[in-house]
Chain A
Amino acid sequence: MICIKNFLTILVTFFLILSCVLTAQEGKALQEDSKNSLISGSRSLQFRISNNLTLTSFEGAMISAKKHFTSNSALRFGLGLDIRSGQEDYGAVEEDDNLFELELIAQYIYYTSPKAPVNLYLGTGPQFTYNRHVQDRNYEETGEDAAWQYDRSWTIGLLATFGVEWFAIENISFFCEYGASIGYQSRYMESTPYQGYQDQETTQFRLSSQTVDFGLSVYF
Protein backbone atom coordinates (compact mmCIF):
# COMPACT_ATOMS: atom_id res chain seq x y z
CA MET A 1 0.00 0.00 0.00
CA ILE A 2 2.91 2.31 0.90
CA CYS A 3 4.54 1.51 -2.44
CA ILE A 4 1.39 2.54 -4.35
CA LYS A 5 1.23 5.76 -2.36
CA ASN A 6 4.88 6.56 -3.23
CA PHE A 7 4.23 5.86 -6.89
CA LEU A 8 1.21 8.15 -6.94
CA THR A 9 3.21 10.92 -5.20
CA ILE A 10 5.96 10.66 -7.82
CA LEU A 11 3.41 10.69 -10.68
CA VAL A 12 1.64 13.78 -9.34
CA THR A 13 4.98 15.60 -8.74
CA PHE A 14 6.12 14.81 -12.28
CA PHE A 15 2.92 16.20 -13.81
CA LEU A 16 3.09 19.35 -11.68
CA ILE A 17 6.71 20.10 -12.68
CA LEU A 18 5.94 19.39 -16.29
CA SER A 19 2.90 21.67 -16.39
CA CYS A 20 5.03 24.48 -14.88
CA VAL A 21 7.71 23.96 -17.54
CA LEU A 22 5.13 23.92 -20.35
CA THR A 23 3.49 27.10 -19.12
CA ALA A 24 6.80 28.90 -18.64
CA GLN A 25 8.16 28.14 -22.08
CA GLU A 26 6.75 29.88 -25.11
CA GLY A 27 6.88 28.04 -28.39
CA LYS A 28 8.75 29.96 -31.04
CA ALA A 29 7.18 29.71 -34.44
CA LEU A 30 9.75 28.79 -37.03
CA GLN A 31 7.76 29.19 -40.18
CA GLU A 32 9.36 28.36 -43.47
CA ASP A 33 7.53 28.89 -46.71
CA SER A 34 7.60 26.05 -49.17
CA LYS A 35 5.95 25.29 -52.50
CA ASN A 36 3.12 22.81 -52.33
CA SER A 37 -0.34 22.17 -53.72
CA LEU A 38 -2.32 23.11 -50.63
CA ILE A 39 -4.14 25.86 -52.48
CA SER A 40 -7.74 26.75 -53.11
CA GLY A 41 -9.32 24.56 -55.78
CA SER A 42 -6.63 21.88 -55.87
CA ARG A 43 -7.77 18.27 -56.13
CA SER A 44 -5.91 15.11 -55.27
CA LEU A 45 -6.22 11.35 -55.18
CA GLN A 46 -4.99 9.37 -52.20
CA PHE A 47 -3.41 5.93 -52.23
CA ARG A 48 -2.36 3.80 -49.31
CA ILE A 49 1.22 2.57 -49.18
CA SER A 50 1.30 -0.90 -47.69
CA ASN A 51 3.73 -3.78 -47.38
CA ASN A 52 6.86 -3.50 -49.49
CA LEU A 53 5.76 -0.06 -50.71
CA THR A 54 2.87 -1.41 -52.77
CA LEU A 55 0.00 1.01 -53.45
CA THR A 56 -3.54 0.05 -52.42
CA SER A 57 -6.82 1.87 -51.94
CA PHE A 58 -7.01 4.46 -49.19
CA GLU A 59 -10.38 5.54 -47.76
CA GLY A 60 -12.72 3.47 -49.85
CA ALA A 61 -11.81 0.76 -52.35
CA MET A 62 -13.17 2.72 -55.30
CA ILE A 63 -11.92 6.24 -54.82
CA SER A 64 -10.38 8.52 -52.24
CA ALA A 65 -10.21 12.14 -53.29
CA LYS A 66 -9.68 15.52 -51.70
CA LYS A 67 -10.64 19.02 -52.76
CA HIS A 68 -9.27 22.19 -51.21
CA PHE A 69 -11.65 25.08 -50.55
CA THR A 70 -8.86 27.22 -49.19
CA SER A 71 -5.23 26.47 -48.47
CA ASN A 72 -6.23 25.51 -44.93
CA SER A 73 -9.41 23.56 -45.48
CA ALA A 74 -10.42 20.64 -47.66
CA LEU A 75 -13.00 17.91 -48.03
CA ARG A 76 -11.78 14.35 -48.29
CA PHE A 77 -14.18 11.82 -49.66
CA GLY A 78 -13.92 8.06 -49.86
CA LEU A 79 -16.22 5.59 -51.55
CA GLY A 80 -15.97 1.84 -51.53
CA LEU A 81 -18.37 -0.42 -53.36
CA ASP A 82 -18.00 -4.14 -53.85
CA ILE A 83 -20.73 -6.25 -55.43
CA ARG A 84 -20.05 -9.88 -56.15
CA SER A 85 -22.31 -12.66 -57.22
CA GLY A 86 -21.00 -16.13 -57.99
CA GLN A 87 -21.84 -19.76 -58.26
CA GLU A 88 -19.51 -22.59 -57.26
CA ASP A 89 -20.01 -26.23 -58.11
CA TYR A 90 -18.65 -28.70 -55.54
CA GLY A 91 -19.95 -31.86 -57.21
CA ALA A 92 -22.99 -32.94 -55.21
CA VAL A 93 -23.46 -29.46 -53.78
CA GLU A 94 -23.63 -26.10 -55.52
CA GLU A 95 -23.22 -22.75 -53.81
CA ASP A 96 -24.60 -19.31 -54.56
CA ASP A 97 -22.46 -16.56 -53.08
CA ASN A 98 -23.69 -12.97 -53.04
CA LEU A 99 -21.82 -10.08 -51.49
CA PHE A 100 -22.62 -6.39 -51.23
CA GLU A 101 -20.29 -3.94 -49.46
CA LEU A 102 -20.64 -0.18 -49.32
CA GLU A 103 -18.46 2.31 -47.48
CA LEU A 104 -18.85 6.08 -47.44
CA ILE A 105 -16.48 8.44 -45.69
CA ALA A 106 -16.42 12.23 -45.79
CA GLN A 107 -14.02 14.29 -43.74
CA TYR A 108 -13.45 17.97 -43.31
CA ILE A 109 -9.68 18.43 -43.17
CA TYR A 110 -7.98 21.43 -41.62
CA TYR A 111 -4.30 22.27 -42.14
CA THR A 112 -2.78 24.30 -39.33
CA SER A 113 0.04 25.84 -41.40
CA PRO A 114 -0.25 25.01 -45.11
CA LYS A 115 2.97 26.77 -46.14
CA ALA A 116 5.27 24.61 -44.05
CA PRO A 117 7.28 21.79 -45.64
CA VAL A 118 5.68 19.31 -43.22
CA ASN A 119 2.04 20.11 -42.54
CA LEU A 120 -0.06 19.05 -39.60
CA TYR A 121 -3.70 18.39 -40.38
CA LEU A 122 -6.78 17.46 -38.41
CA GLY A 123 -9.95 15.99 -39.83
CA THR A 124 -13.38 14.89 -38.80
CA GLY A 125 -16.49 13.59 -40.51
CA PRO A 126 -19.11 10.87 -40.80
CA GLN A 127 -18.64 7.28 -41.83
CA PHE A 128 -21.19 4.73 -43.00
CA THR A 129 -20.67 1.10 -43.91
CA TYR A 130 -23.10 -1.58 -44.98
CA ASN A 131 -22.23 -5.23 -45.62
CA ARG A 132 -24.45 -8.09 -46.72
CA HIS A 133 -23.18 -11.56 -47.47
CA VAL A 134 -25.40 -14.53 -48.35
CA GLN A 135 -24.14 -18.03 -49.04
CA ASP A 136 -26.68 -20.64 -50.07
CA ARG A 137 -25.71 -24.28 -50.59
CA ASN A 138 -28.10 -26.71 -52.26
CA TYR A 139 -27.90 -30.38 -53.18
CA GLU A 140 -27.61 -30.46 -56.93
CA GLU A 141 -29.80 -33.51 -57.50
CA THR A 142 -32.75 -32.74 -55.24
CA GLY A 143 -32.44 -28.96 -54.97
CA GLU A 144 -32.85 -29.19 -51.17
CA ASP A 145 -31.07 -26.79 -48.86
CA ALA A 146 -27.72 -28.08 -47.59
CA ALA A 147 -26.61 -25.00 -45.64
CA TRP A 148 -27.41 -21.34 -45.63
CA GLN A 149 -25.54 -18.40 -44.18
CA TYR A 150 -26.64 -14.79 -43.94
CA ASP A 151 -24.54 -11.99 -42.48
CA ARG A 152 -25.66 -8.36 -42.46
CA SER A 153 -24.02 -5.48 -40.64
CA TRP A 154 -24.04 -1.72 -40.76
CA THR A 155 -22.08 0.96 -38.95
CA ILE A 156 -22.64 4.65 -38.60
CA GLY A 157 -20.13 6.82 -36.84
CA LEU A 158 -17.80 9.74 -36.68
CA LEU A 159 -14.14 9.63 -37.67
CA ALA A 160 -11.33 11.84 -36.48
CA THR A 161 -7.84 11.91 -37.93
CA PHE A 162 -4.64 13.76 -37.17
CA GLY A 163 -1.64 13.43 -39.36
CA VAL A 164 1.24 15.06 -41.15
CA GLU A 165 1.79 15.59 -44.87
CA TRP A 166 5.19 16.09 -46.44
CA PHE A 167 5.56 17.35 -49.99
CA ALA A 168 8.31 15.55 -51.90
CA ILE A 169 7.63 17.83 -54.88
CA GLU A 170 4.99 20.48 -55.49
CA ASN A 171 2.19 18.07 -56.39
CA ILE A 172 3.20 14.79 -54.76
CA SER A 173 3.10 14.30 -51.03
CA PHE A 174 3.43 11.53 -48.48
CA PHE A 175 1.24 11.48 -45.42
CA CYS A 176 1.02 9.52 -42.18
CA GLU A 177 -1.99 9.72 -39.92
CA TYR A 178 -3.42 8.48 -36.67
CA GLY A 179 -7.16 8.18 -36.31
CA ALA A 180 -10.04 7.28 -34.06
CA SER A 181 -13.68 6.52 -34.58
CA ILE A 182 -16.80 6.42 -32.50
CA GLY A 183 -19.78 4.61 -33.89
CA TYR A 184 -22.81 2.40 -33.57
CA GLN A 185 -22.69 -1.03 -35.13
CA SER A 186 -25.46 -3.51 -35.70
CA ARG A 187 -24.85 -7.04 -36.91
CA TYR A 188 -27.22 -9.90 -37.61
CA MET A 189 -26.10 -13.38 -38.56
CA GLU A 190 -28.21 -16.38 -39.37
CA SER A 191 -27.12 -19.81 -40.49
CA THR A 192 -28.53 -23.26 -40.96
CA PRO A 193 -25.68 -25.68 -40.47
CA TYR A 194 -26.37 -29.40 -40.75
CA GLN A 195 -29.51 -30.27 -38.71
CA GLY A 196 -29.59 -26.96 -36.95
CA TYR A 197 -30.35 -23.28 -36.90
CA GLN A 198 -28.34 -20.42 -35.45
CA ASP A 199 -28.86 -16.70 -35.24
CA GLN A 200 -27.02 -13.92 -33.48
CA GLU A 201 -27.76 -10.24 -33.14
CA THR A 202 -25.19 -7.79 -31.82
CA THR A 203 -25.43 -4.06 -31.31
CA GLN A 204 -22.47 -2.07 -30.12
CA PHE A 205 -21.29 1.43 -29.39
CA ARG A 206 -17.61 1.43 -30.14
CA LEU A 207 -14.72 3.80 -29.63
CA SER A 208 -11.60 2.63 -31.36
CA SER A 209 -8.23 3.74 -32.60
CA GLN A 210 -7.78 3.30 -36.32
CA THR A 211 -4.64 1.69 -37.66
CA VAL A 212 -1.95 4.15 -38.73
CA ASP A 213 -2.35 5.09 -42.37
CA PHE A 214 0.63 5.81 -44.60
CA GLY A 215 -0.14 7.08 -48.05
CA LEU A 216 0.61 9.03 -51.15
CA SER A 217 -1.32 12.06 -52.43
CA VAL A 218 -1.13 13.13 -56.04
CA TYR A 219 -2.43 16.66 -56.74
CA PHE A 220 -3.82 17.87 -60.04
Chain B
Amino acid sequence: MTGRQKVGILLLIAAMFIVMGTFNQARAEDRENYLVRGSWSMQFGIVRDFTLTSFNGGLISAKRHLSPNTAFRFGLSLRGDVGDNSSETSRSYEQPGGGEEFTRTSDGNTSNLILNISTQLMFYSTIEKSVNLYFGFGPNFNYSRDKDEFDLEYTYEDIPDRDGFENRYMRSWSAGFLGSWGVELFASKKISFIAEYGARIEYYSLYRETNSEEYVDETGRFENFSEDSHDFRIISDAVKFGISLYFN
Protein backbone atom coordinates (compact mmCIF):
# COMPACT_ATOMS: atom_id res chain seq x y z
CA MET B 1 0.00 0.00 0.00
CA THR B 2 1.48 3.34 -1.01
CA GLY B 3 1.63 6.38 1.22
CA ARG B 4 -1.06 8.17 -0.81
CA GLN B 5 -3.45 5.20 -0.41
CA LYS B 6 -2.90 5.21 3.36
CA VAL B 7 -3.65 8.92 3.54
CA GLY B 8 -6.77 8.35 1.42
CA ILE B 9 -8.05 5.68 3.82
CA LEU B 10 -7.44 7.91 6.82
CA LEU B 11 -9.32 10.79 5.20
CA LEU B 12 -12.21 8.45 4.32
CA ILE B 13 -12.47 7.32 7.94
CA ALA B 14 -12.47 10.99 8.99
CA ALA B 15 -15.29 11.77 6.53
CA MET B 16 -17.34 8.82 7.90
CA PHE B 17 -17.08 10.15 11.43
CA ILE B 18 -18.23 13.60 10.28
CA VAL B 19 -21.27 12.17 8.46
CA MET B 20 -22.16 9.99 11.48
CA GLY B 21 -21.86 13.04 13.69
CA THR B 22 -24.47 15.06 11.81
CA PHE B 23 -27.12 12.39 12.59
CA ASN B 24 -26.33 12.59 16.28
CA GLN B 25 -26.87 16.35 16.39
CA ALA B 26 -30.64 16.02 16.64
CA ARG B 27 -30.40 14.42 20.07
CA ALA B 28 -27.93 17.01 21.39
CA GLU B 29 -30.43 18.89 23.54
CA ASP B 30 -31.11 15.79 25.66
CA ARG B 31 -27.52 15.24 26.62
CA GLU B 32 -25.75 16.40 29.77
CA ASN B 33 -22.74 17.62 27.83
CA TYR B 34 -21.89 20.14 25.18
CA LEU B 35 -20.53 17.88 22.45
CA VAL B 36 -22.67 19.57 19.83
CA ARG B 37 -22.06 20.97 16.39
CA GLY B 38 -20.77 24.53 16.50
CA SER B 39 -19.66 24.53 20.14
CA TRP B 40 -16.35 26.12 21.02
CA SER B 41 -14.19 25.42 24.02
CA MET B 42 -10.92 26.50 25.55
CA GLN B 43 -8.62 24.02 27.22
CA PHE B 44 -6.39 24.65 30.20
CA GLY B 45 -3.91 22.23 31.72
CA ILE B 46 -4.13 21.33 35.40
CA VAL B 47 -0.84 20.67 37.10
CA ARG B 48 0.33 20.12 40.65
CA ASP B 49 -1.61 21.82 43.44
CA PHE B 50 -4.49 22.62 41.07
CA THR B 51 -2.53 25.28 39.22
CA LEU B 52 -3.83 26.05 35.74
CA THR B 53 -1.39 26.16 32.87
CA SER B 54 -1.44 26.04 29.10
CA PHE B 55 -2.79 22.84 27.57
CA ASN B 56 -2.02 22.38 23.90
CA GLY B 57 -0.15 25.64 23.33
CA GLY B 58 1.25 28.47 25.42
CA LEU B 59 -0.78 31.17 23.67
CA ILE B 60 -4.06 29.39 23.15
CA SER B 61 -5.65 25.97 23.04
CA ALA B 62 -9.15 25.87 21.57
CA LYS B 63 -11.55 23.31 20.11
CA ARG B 64 -14.50 23.61 17.77
CA HIS B 65 -17.01 20.84 17.19
CA LEU B 66 -17.75 20.17 13.54
CA SER B 67 -20.35 17.64 14.63
CA PRO B 68 -21.10 15.97 17.99
CA ASN B 69 -18.55 13.26 17.18
CA THR B 70 -15.85 15.30 15.53
CA ALA B 71 -13.96 18.39 16.47
CA PHE B 72 -10.99 20.45 15.44
CA ARG B 73 -8.47 21.28 18.18
CA PHE B 74 -5.88 23.96 17.74
CA GLY B 75 -2.89 24.97 19.85
CA LEU B 76 -0.45 27.81 19.34
CA SER B 77 2.65 28.99 21.15
CA LEU B 78 4.56 32.06 20.06
CA ARG B 79 7.39 33.84 21.79
CA GLY B 80 10.22 35.97 20.55
CA ASP B 81 12.41 38.95 21.18
CA VAL B 82 14.95 41.09 19.42
CA GLY B 83 17.26 43.47 21.21
CA ASP B 84 20.61 45.13 21.83
CA ASN B 85 22.93 44.40 24.66
CA SER B 86 26.03 46.29 25.73
CA SER B 87 28.12 45.78 28.82
CA GLU B 88 31.34 46.89 30.41
CA THR B 89 33.20 45.12 33.16
CA SER B 90 36.28 46.50 34.88
CA ARG B 91 38.38 44.56 37.34
CA SER B 92 41.49 45.49 39.20
CA TYR B 93 43.83 43.04 40.92
CA GLU B 94 46.35 43.70 43.60
CA GLN B 95 49.41 41.54 43.07
CA PRO B 96 53.09 41.58 44.08
CA GLY B 97 54.92 44.14 41.98
CA GLY B 98 51.90 46.34 41.41
CA GLY B 99 48.24 46.23 40.49
CA GLU B 100 46.62 45.27 37.24
CA GLU B 101 43.39 46.43 35.74
CA PHE B 102 41.44 45.16 32.80
CA THR B 103 38.17 46.12 31.12
CA ARG B 104 35.91 43.91 29.06
CA THR B 105 33.35 45.57 26.83
CA SER B 106 30.79 43.78 24.71
CA ASP B 107 28.29 45.21 22.28
CA GLY B 108 25.86 43.15 20.31
CA ASN B 109 22.38 42.07 19.48
CA THR B 110 20.26 39.07 20.32
CA SER B 111 17.14 37.61 18.81
CA ASN B 112 15.09 34.51 19.33
CA LEU B 113 11.82 33.06 18.19
CA ILE B 114 9.82 30.04 19.29
CA LEU B 115 6.73 28.91 17.41
CA ASN B 116 4.67 25.77 18.00
CA ILE B 117 1.51 24.93 16.08
CA SER B 118 -0.52 21.82 16.61
CA THR B 119 -3.85 20.95 15.03
CA GLN B 120 -5.85 17.82 15.56
CA LEU B 121 -9.03 16.31 14.27
CA MET B 122 -10.76 14.70 17.24
CA PHE B 123 -13.20 11.82 17.12
CA TYR B 124 -15.49 10.94 20.01
CA SER B 125 -16.45 7.27 20.06
CA THR B 126 -19.34 8.00 22.45
CA ILE B 127 -21.15 11.25 23.02
CA GLU B 128 -24.15 10.22 25.09
CA LYS B 129 -22.32 9.46 28.32
CA SER B 130 -20.91 11.73 30.96
CA VAL B 131 -17.49 10.12 30.33
CA ASN B 132 -16.57 10.00 26.67
CA LEU B 133 -13.65 8.36 24.94
CA TYR B 134 -11.93 10.34 22.22
CA PHE B 135 -8.94 10.10 19.98
CA GLY B 136 -7.36 12.58 17.64
CA PHE B 137 -4.59 13.05 15.13
CA GLY B 138 -3.14 15.90 13.16
CA PRO B 139 -0.06 17.77 12.12
CA ASN B 140 2.37 19.40 14.47
CA PHE B 141 5.05 21.97 13.69
CA ASN B 142 7.74 23.48 15.90
CA TYR B 143 10.30 26.11 15.05
CA SER B 144 12.96 27.67 17.20
CA ARG B 145 15.70 30.15 16.33
CA ASP B 146 18.27 31.78 18.56
CA LYS B 147 20.93 34.22 17.39
CA ASP B 148 23.52 36.25 19.35
CA GLU B 149 26.20 38.47 17.81
CA PHE B 150 28.70 40.26 20.02
CA ASP B 151 31.77 42.42 19.45
CA LEU B 152 34.21 42.01 22.31
CA GLU B 153 37.12 44.07 23.49
CA TYR B 154 39.54 43.42 26.35
CA THR B 155 41.70 46.30 27.51
CA TYR B 156 44.64 45.65 29.86
CA GLU B 157 46.86 48.01 31.70
CA ASP B 158 50.22 46.40 30.94
CA ILE B 159 49.70 43.96 28.08
CA PRO B 160 48.35 44.47 24.54
CA ASP B 161 44.58 44.75 24.09
CA ARG B 162 42.49 41.96 22.60
CA ASP B 163 39.43 42.37 20.45
CA GLY B 164 37.20 40.13 18.40
CA PHE B 165 33.71 38.86 18.07
CA GLU B 166 31.54 35.94 19.13
CA ASN B 167 28.51 34.76 17.14
CA ARG B 168 26.10 32.02 18.11
CA TYR B 169 23.28 30.69 15.99
CA MET B 170 20.86 27.83 16.62
CA ARG B 171 17.90 26.80 14.51
CA SER B 172 15.71 23.78 14.99
CA TRP B 173 12.42 22.69 13.53
CA SER B 174 10.26 19.62 13.58
CA ALA B 175 7.21 18.62 11.58
CA GLY B 176 5.12 15.55 12.12
CA PHE B 177 1.89 14.05 13.31
CA LEU B 178 0.42 14.02 16.78
CA GLY B 179 -1.87 11.32 18.03
CA SER B 180 -3.83 11.55 21.27
CA TRP B 181 -6.38 9.40 23.02
CA GLY B 182 -8.17 10.22 26.20
CA VAL B 183 -11.38 10.59 28.16
CA GLU B 184 -13.54 13.60 28.87
CA LEU B 185 -15.72 13.77 31.95
CA PHE B 186 -18.47 16.37 32.03
CA ALA B 187 -18.89 17.87 35.50
CA SER B 188 -21.67 20.06 34.13
CA LYS B 189 -23.07 20.66 30.65
CA LYS B 190 -20.33 23.15 29.74
CA ILE B 191 -17.44 22.18 32.00
CA SER B 192 -15.44 19.02 31.55
CA PHE B 193 -12.23 17.45 32.76
CA ILE B 194 -9.92 15.77 30.28
CA ALA B 195 -7.11 13.26 30.69
CA GLU B 196 -5.17 12.08 27.68
CA TYR B 197 -2.20 10.14 26.47
CA GLY B 198 -0.36 11.23 23.37
CA ALA B 199 2.46 10.38 21.02
CA ARG B 200 3.97 11.94 17.97
CA ILE B 201 6.06 10.93 15.01
CA GLU B 202 8.13 13.71 13.57
CA TYR B 203 11.07 14.76 11.52
CA TYR B 204 13.50 16.87 13.52
CA SER B 205 16.28 19.07 12.26
CA LEU B 206 18.87 20.96 14.30
CA TYR B 207 21.61 23.31 13.15
CA ARG B 208 24.04 25.01 15.50
CA GLU B 209 26.97 27.23 14.75
CA THR B 210 29.39 29.28 16.83
CA ASN B 211 32.13 31.50 15.44
CA SER B 212 34.61 33.54 17.36
CA GLU B 213 37.66 35.54 16.44
CA GLU B 214 40.13 37.22 18.72
CA TYR B 215 43.05 39.46 17.78
CA VAL B 216 46.09 40.46 19.83
CA ASP B 217 48.12 42.94 17.76
CA GLU B 218 48.23 41.29 14.36
CA THR B 219 47.83 37.74 15.64
CA GLY B 220 44.40 36.17 15.42
CA ARG B 221 42.76 33.13 16.94
CA PHE B 222 39.72 31.66 15.23
CA GLU B 223 37.22 29.12 16.41
CA ASN B 224 34.39 27.68 14.37
CA PHE B 225 31.97 24.98 15.36
CA SER B 226 28.93 23.77 13.52
CA GLU B 227 26.54 20.86 13.95
CA ASP B 228 23.81 19.71 11.63
CA SER B 229 21.60 16.82 12.72
CA HIS B 230 18.40 15.27 11.37
CA ASP B 231 16.23 12.65 13.03
CA PHE B 232 13.02 10.78 12.59
CA ARG B 233 11.61 10.10 16.00
CA ILE B 234 8.61 8.72 17.84
CA ILE B 235 7.97 10.35 21.19
CA SER B 236 5.40 9.57 23.85
CA ASP B 237 4.13 12.80 25.34
CA ALA B 238 3.49 13.17 29.03
CA VAL B 239 -0.07 12.48 30.18
CA LYS B 240 -2.11 15.67 30.09
CA PHE B 241 -4.84 16.55 32.54
CA GLY B 242 -6.97 19.59 31.96
CA ILE B 243 -10.25 21.40 32.06
CA SER B 244 -12.38 22.32 29.06
CA LEU B 245 -14.80 25.23 29.17
CA TYR B 246 -17.44 25.27 26.45
CA PHE B 247 -19.05 28.34 24.95
CA ASN B 248 -20.46 29.42 21.62
Contact = CB atoms under 8 A, between A and B. Distances in A.
B58 A209 contact: yes
A220 interface: no
B11 A13 contact: yes
B234 interface: no
From A8, A18, A49, A212, name the one whose CB has the most chain B CB atoms within 10 angstroms. Answer: A212
Chain B interface residue number, banded? 35 or more
Nearest to B50: A53
A195 interface: yes
Contacts of A142: none
Interface stretch (B83-91, B148-156, B162-170, B221-229): B83-91
A178 B50 contact: no
Interface of A: 3-4, 6-8, 10-11, 13-15, 17-18, 21-22, 25-31, 49-53, 112-113, 116-120, 162-164, 166, 176, 178, 180, 185, 195-209, 211-214
Contact of A200 (B14, B85, B232): B85
20 contacts: A7-B203, A10-B139, A18-B119, A30-B36, A117-B189, A118-B246, A118-B247, A120-B42, A120-B247, A164-B42, A176-B245, A196-B89, A196-B90, A200-B88, A201-B85, A203-B84, A204-B81, A204-B110, A209-B79, A212-B44
Contacts of B77: 209
Given A4-B203, A166-B245, A204-B110, 14 more contacts: A3-B232, A14-B138, A25-B67, A28-B37, A113-B248, A117-B190, A166-B191, A196-B91, A199-B88, A199-B89, A202-B83, A204-B84, A214-B44, A214-B51
B243 interface: yes
